[in-house]
Structure formats: C-alpha cells, structure tokens
C-alpha cells in the first residue's frame, strides 16, 4: 500500500466503516453488535462483533442450500494494531464452517518471509498470493473511476496517480500480510465452497477494499482516533436505521450529509486561512 503503517491505522478503520455503509440496504448488509475496547493476556485492542446479512450477495448454488432466515455470517474481530485476528462463523452450519484470518501490517516492500509467525506445518501448506491494487481489476459491477488508483490523485498528499511498478520507488510504502484458513465441511461441496470463499470472501474483498482505502485518502487523512470512534458510532446508528427501513432514501441522506461536511470544512478553512490546512476529512450521517 502507498501508505505508512501509522497512516493505515486510520485508513483501515475508516474503510471498514464506509464499506459497511455502502454495502447495507434494507434487510441486508452489516449489523454492528459490539464495538468496544478489550484487554487480555496478549495486550489491549478493539473488539468488534458484527452480523453480516448476506441476502442476494451469495451465488445461486449457495442460496439453494440455506433458508432465507439463516443467510447471515457472524464476524468477531480483535484489533490489536498492527495485528488483527478475525473469525467468521455461520449459525446454520455450526462448526462445519469457519474462516479465520490473521493480519499484520509492516512498513516494508513485502520482504518479510513469515510476518505472522506461522507454524512449520502451516508454512508447508501456505499458498502465497500477491495482490496489487493498481495492476488488478475488481469485479466490473463494483468499479468506479473515482476508486481507481491509476486515476486518483490526492489533493492533500500529492500521491497518485499510481502506475505499474509503483512499489519500486513509492514512499511511504507498507505491506499487509494476511493468512486465511477456510473450512467448509459439507460432503460434496467442500472443495467448491472453500475455493469460492477464498476468492469472494477474502481475496476480492481485500482487493476492492484497499483500492478504496487509498482512493478515499482525502476523506480520512488528518482524522484522529477520536474522530474515527465517533464516525464508527454514527455508522452503527446509520446502519441500524437503514436496515430497519427508517431511512427511505439513503442516496439523498448521503448527499445531504456530504453537503453539510463541505460547509463545515469551508467554514473551518475561512477561520484558519492563515494556518497550514489539514482537513479532518470525515462526515457523519445520522
């Protein structure tokens, strides 16, 4: 990523919150159950518990297997940045289905051989897959010109437009190391489903999300952790209203709140015209 690990701490949280807003509609999307600090024998961090209501996001062969009332996946995540662990389960399948991922963020060019300290038996089975946010394309139905790193140019940092081979000399530069264990123990469907989960629930999400994280740079750059926690709480309120149908026209809601944000930023700019500008870069929906 064309960011530092310090910058990405804000980028990741902003990306997840905004991604949740964009993928939630009435009856589908992401429900935030908990988002709170935790502390255990390994240290401190932020724990989140989410329910992902899948609905139409599953392929037809999967929809034929699962009752509509059970189309959901639970995500539990322990974010002890720069290390994160996430576990995904599905109540319908019990212990026959799980995705476990571990992630570590390092300021390097992808040169750390075993960033997650995997056991020898895991290293033997590991398949290394490099993801390039510039060279690879997302599913056309999710493509937006404003979220293409080849076309995006940051007004706040001067970064972009990224071209092939950008990793060779870009500063700052970091790598996201992720290991994912996928299990689906259902006879006759295990191989096909595990392959689909690796692609659709892990790789495709990582590729799209990190293109967006970079191209949303001017929105999150300058935010503090307090700003992010406020944005996350506003996101939870917004998603609850959206899924319940309380917000009838989410596009109009977004446009109204974006206009408010722009007015606030302009007022701040006028009040601080003699100071170097570093916009907070966030907006809220309620």
pLDDT in tens, the chain (286 residues): 999 999 999 999 999 999 888 877 666 678 889 999 999 887 899 999 999 877 655 555 555 556 555 578 899 999 999 999 999 998 878 888 888 999 999 999 999 999 999 999 999 999 999 999 999 999 898 999 999 999 999 999 999 999 999 999 999 999 999 999 988 877 766 767 677 677 766 888 899 999 999 999 999 999 999 999 999 999 989 888 887 777 665 555 555 555 565 565 555 555 544 443 332 222 222 2
Model pLDDT, residue 173? 96
Burial letters 91-101, b for 16+ CB under 10 A, else e: eebeeebbbeb
Going from the C-alpha of 99 to that of each of 53, 117, 181, 195, the distances in angstroms are: 16, 19, 6, 12
Rounded to two decimals, the pTM is 0.79
Residue 238 contacts residue 285 (beta carbons within 8 Å): yes
Supply the range of the domain harboring residue 25.
Answer: 5-120+129-246
Backbone φ, ψ for residue 273 (5° rounding): -65, -20
Is 226 inside any structural domain?
yes
Model pLDDT, residue 5? 97
Model pLDDT, residue 275? 41
Is 262 inside any structural domain?
no
Model pLDDT, residue 279? 29
How far apart CA 228 and CA 232 sit, in angstroms, is: 6
Is 45 inside any structural domain?
yes
Q: Which helix (H) or strand (E) holds 243?
A: helix 225-244
Is 274 inside any structural domain?
no
Model pLDDT, residue 276? 37
Is 51 inside any structural domain?
yes
Model pLDDT, residue 73? 86
How far apart CA 54 and CA 81 sit, in angstroms, is: 28
Is 171 inside any structural domain?
yes
Model pLDDT, residue 70? 57
Model pLDDT, residue 251? 53
How far apart CA 78 and CA 87 sit, in angstroms, is: 9
Q: Is the dihedral angle over the CA atoms 86, 173, 123, 188 positive or is it negative?
A: positive
Residue 142 sits in a domain of what CATH number?
3.30.530.20
Residue 258 contacts residue 264 (beta carbons within 8 Å): no
Beta-carbon count within 10 A of 261 CB: 18
Tally of structural domains, the chain:
1
Q: Is the dihedral angle over the CA atoms 277, 278, 281, 283 positive or is it negative?
A: negative
Alpha carbon of residue 215 to chain centroid: 13
Tokens 């992902």 belong to which residue? 52
Is 282 inside any structural domain?
no
Model pLDDT, residue 50? 92
Is 228 inside any structural domain?
yes
Burial letters 225-238, b for 16+ CB under 10 A, else e: eebbeebbebbbeb
């Amino acid at each position: 990523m064309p960011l530092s690990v310090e910058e990405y701490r804000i980028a990741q949280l902003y990306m997840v919150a905004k991604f949740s807003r964009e993928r939630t509609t009435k009856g589908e999307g992401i429900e935030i159950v908990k988002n709170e600090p935790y502390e255990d024998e390994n240290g401190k961090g932020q724990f989140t518990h989410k329910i992902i209501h899948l609905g139409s996001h599953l392929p037809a062969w999967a929809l034929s297997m699962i009752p509509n009332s059970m189309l959901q996946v639970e995500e539990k995540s322990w974010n002890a940045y720069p290390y994160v662990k996430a576990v995904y389960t599905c109540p319908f399948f019990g212990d026959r289905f799980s995705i476990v991922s571990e992630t570590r963020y390092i300021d390097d060019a992808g040169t750390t051989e075993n960033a997650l300290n995997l056991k020898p038996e895991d290293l033997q089975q590991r398949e290394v897959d490099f993801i390039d946010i510039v060279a690879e394309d997302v599913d056309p139905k999710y493509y937006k010109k404003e979220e293409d790193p080849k076309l995006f140019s940051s007004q706040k940092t001067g970064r972009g437009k990224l071209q092939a081979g950008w990793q060779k000399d870009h500063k700052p530069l970091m790598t996201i190391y992720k290991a994912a264990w996928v299990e689906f123990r259902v006879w006759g469907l295990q191989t096909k489903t595990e392959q689909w989960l690796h692609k659709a629930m892990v790789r495709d999400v990582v590729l799209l999300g990190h293109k967006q994280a970079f191209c949303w740079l001017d929105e999150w750059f300058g935010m503090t952790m307090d700003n992010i926690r406020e944005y996350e709480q506003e996101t939870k309120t917004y998603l609850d209203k959206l899924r319940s149908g309380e917000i009838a026209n989410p596009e109009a809601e977004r446009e109204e709140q974006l206009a408010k944000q722009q007015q606030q930023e302009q007022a701040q700019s006028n009040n601080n015209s003699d100071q170097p500008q570093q916009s907070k870069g966030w907006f809220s929906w309620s």
